[in-house]
Structure 1
Amino acid sequence: MDPPREAGPDDPVDGGPDNASFAAARRRSEAIERELREDPSRFRVLTGDRPTGRLHVGHLFGSLENRVRLQDAGVETFVIIADYQVITDRDAVGPVGERVLSLVTDYLAVGLDPSRCTIFAHSAVPALNQLMLPFLALVTDAELRRNPTVKAELAATNGRPMSGLMLTYPVHQAADILFCKANLVPVGKDQLPHVEQSRSIARRFDEIYGRADQRHAVFPRPDALLSEAVNILGVDGQKMSKSRGNAIELAMSADVTAKLIRRAVTDSERQITWEPQRRPEVANLLLLAALSSGRTPEELADELAGAGGAGLKAVVTEAVNERLAPIRSRRAELAADEGYLRSVLAEGNRRANEVGDATLAEVRAAMGMVY
């Protein structure tokens, strides 16, 4: 297996990125941020979500705001609603239609603009999914089993057989990225191996089918745009999750949000301090208020001083509800017009199919499969 490269490793790293790989990815990401300011038109971004539930403030601060930033900077942005990927770790899709439209509503409410980005459903783009076949021929079973997501899923099965779709999840993600020739993928550290797998597949395809020179390659080598880690816990002090019932959802009312924050876990100390290691629950509430208000957790802690848990929760509630108010207002307008939401998705699907068909035609030509 090839060693990691300075500009971004091409091969998956067993168990996730090591320190050298992560440092290289960080340096490359910082260089990309500079390049984005100089010429955003050089980049095409692929990002998205699985429709497994409603989006929450963790998504807002962890990814949605960054997507809007890139779009507004002039980066061509593709946002995938990965409905096929719902069944990688589930027996059925659930109320997937309702959840897909909910995602479209959230995307538009936070500021994604369908005239400047392409919002589409995974299952609606046959060419994207057809790329799985040649891509699967470029990876080994051992490589897939080393992928951290696959390893974690296998460890959590408790003896239950892992599906073939779950095993090939990294290849599916590569198809998502490469079908539209995205060269930039916003990710956190834990997702770096997926980008590395996509780079490896792109490189191997071009080496086998005679276009390894990147100036004339079929596929770009996608880079990771590392996001700053924003780890917001749920109100119970555990990971904020769509399935745990501990998340502040974008679609919630101000009253429901207030009730949820009132029962958030804190501790018995009255003095409010910013100590993430010693007081993670208090620090989480300070972080949430800071992100919502554009301030720092440290200055909020200094201002609150001896306010205690109740005082802290009151500040968090006000900050979160104020931050979400325009999103909720816009969301209510959008949710009342299902026809418009469906038209946005239909146009995004049309655009994604246009791009996917062109890529698949190029792949078939490179493989000598045009008859």
Structure 2
Amino acid sequence: KANFNTLYPTVWNWGYTLYPSEIAKSFTGLPLDPTEGLQGRDILAEMVELGHDQGMSVIPWFEFGFMAPADSTLAKAHPEWLTARQDGSVIWWEGKVHQRVWLNPLRPDVQQFMTDLMVEIVSNYDIDGIQLDDHFGYPSELGYDDYTVKLYQAEHEGKIPPKDPQDPDWVRWRADKITNYVETLFHTIKKHNPKAIISVSPNPQEFSLNSFLLDWYRWERKGLIEELVVQLYRDRNDTLIRELEQPEILAAREHIPVGIGILSGLKGRPISWSKIRQQVNIARRHGFAGISFFFYESLWNLSTESPEARQTALKNLFNDPAQRPHVTDNRSNCELSAS
């Protein structure tokens, strides 16, 4: 009724899959998130059927990427997979509330685990694509685990990694390793499901690269992204406009559909409909391919406004059906030689 055309359902969250997974079971002993209400169901299959019945594309979202709760079954089962700081600590606080750890995406066994999860989905479900996000790297303060240090030494004549996590060469080396994996992942997914769209929803490039070693701009230059949805969860409209006009975003728009992720609210942080409408219209005026809201519960719930008022406002804002932008092969093929 609100004329949405795409669903991005979370399928990898809190160290668990939200669909029955033989891959997850083989690594953790649990095929599905143990939360009550999920057992005996395949939520992804239900979502695909219901979404397609309504004419919507369904692109499963690997929300947590390489991040996991510190007390998760996965982290406890495979402590050797975790990356660390220079002092050996592995805990990373998210929002000063949640204790997280990060799987090391440079490790072949971690890469294989993540690849197997995605291949499982694109092979077994009638989905329209896969979405990665800002957690498909890791915080730049990490990367000092034994595996990574030895790998770095093997490629740098025995030298240890720089003590400064923001050392440009050290950032670049780790980011390039992740890019190499993403390139392999892209082609593996396409081998199993050539029609699956590879969507990425990162932070703006500078923060993404320097803080999380996720160089989505290089991914796009290499033709590894077919849809880009940049997370621009900003309170100030002038900040939003400034970031919409970043050169990396403008360059990507020349090759692929680029949408904007807008925050519709969080638990304990409602966003007024007036603010949402303003930001949607800003994205429209700048000619972006679409809007993606985070997250669905706050579209008309988790708000100081009534659900009925929010639903009516949504219908008014999106009063005409809109087709998804056509995703073709990323034709950029213009990897920059100096960055």
Assess same fold via TM > 0.5.
Answer: no
Q: Could you say which structure has the higher helix fraction?
A: 1
User: Which structure has the greater CA radius of gyration?
Assistant: 1
